[in-house]
Copies of this chain bind each other. A is one copy, B any other.
Amino acid sequence: MTVTTRRTQDQRSAKTRRLLLDATIQSLMEVGYANTSTAGIAKRAGVSRGAQTHHYPGKMDLIVAATEEMFANFATGLETLAGELRAGRLSYDAFFDAIWDGVLNGDWFYSSLEIIVAARGDDELRRQLAPLILDLHERFETTWSRTFVAVDPAVVSSRVALNLAMNVFRGMAVQAVLRRDEAYFLEMLAALKAVIAVHVRPAENG
């Protein structure tokens, strides 16, 4: 007879689900998709394999649910950061520094990279993830349009300029897997700021 605090079913479910999703993201981050197994996730989460299959019957259910949470967190985080910029509490430079730091050192980018690459060879997974990405990009673009104004919208809109910047970050993060070269990335980051600054400036008090 074990001593357990009495919890409602919803509380038990929510707790177990959170443990499983956190463990999934952590596993993707640490060992990659290829080495992420449902058994490993359950072990990390500290729940039994039966509990895992009960809440998420298949591996894909885990992945998709974890992705959903991950994307939502990142979108709100980015919007918060952009809000700081609009409020004048964050400089243009610091804004880019913060995004780059999040991409390189946060859980978000590499976990999603693992999932995206896995989806390339898995039709069903791709089908399930595509709408999540579309939604994420839409939220990004809303943030960009709200936070920056273009110098000459006919040439490069703020939306396009910031999408370019995000793609640079993506590309740099991929590079960083095999080339951890601080000086190189600082150089690129400075250049990126300069290049983007030609076409766009922060919209104060958006």
Interface residues of A in 97-138 (CB under 8 A from B): 110, 113-114, 116-122, 126, 129-130, 133-134, 137
B contact residues around A199 at 8 Å (CB): 195
Chain B residues with CB under 8 A of A114: 117, 120
Query: Please, which residues of chain B bring their CB within 8 A of the CB of A137?
Result: 175, 179
Which residue of chain B has the shortest Cβ distance to A109 in the bound complex? B174
Question: Does A32 interact with chain B (Cβ within 8 Å)?
Answer: yes
Assess the B198–A195 pair: CB atoms within 8 A: yes
Mark A125-158 against chain B: 1 for CB-CB distance below 8 A, else 0: 0100110011001000000000000000001100
Residues of B within 8 A of A178 (CB): 116, 119, 126, 129-130, 133
Q: With A and B bound together, what is the CA distance between A191 and B161 in angstroms?
A: 8
Name the residue in A118, A174, A188, A192 with the highest tally of chain B Cβ atoms < 10 Å from its Cβ.
A174
| Binary per-residue interface labels of chain A (87-102) against chain B in the complex, 1 for a CB within 8 Å, 0 otherwise | 0000000000000000
Q: Does A1 contact B (CB under 8 A)?
A: no
Q: Is the CB of A117 within 8 A of B119?
A: no
**Given A126-B177, A160-B191, A174-B174: 7 more A-B contacts, CB < 8 Å:** A34-B118, A116-B178, A133-B179, A137-B175, A170-B170, A170-B171, A170-B174
A-B contact pairs, 29 of them (CB 8 A): A30-B121, A32-B120, A32-B122, A33-B34, A35-B121, A113-B174, A114-B117, A114-B120, A116-B177, A116-B178, A117-B177, A119-B178, A133-B179, A134-B179, A137-B179, A155-B191, A156-B191, A164-B188, A164-B192, A167-B168, A167-B172, A168-B168, A168-B171, A170-B170, A170-B171, A170-B174, A174-B174, A195-B196, A195-B198
User: Footprint of B on A, CB under 8 Å?
Assistant: 30-35, 110, 113-114, 116-122, 126, 129-130, 133-134, 137, 155-156, 160-161, 163-164, 166-172, 174-175, 177-179, 187-188, 191-192, 194-196, 198-199
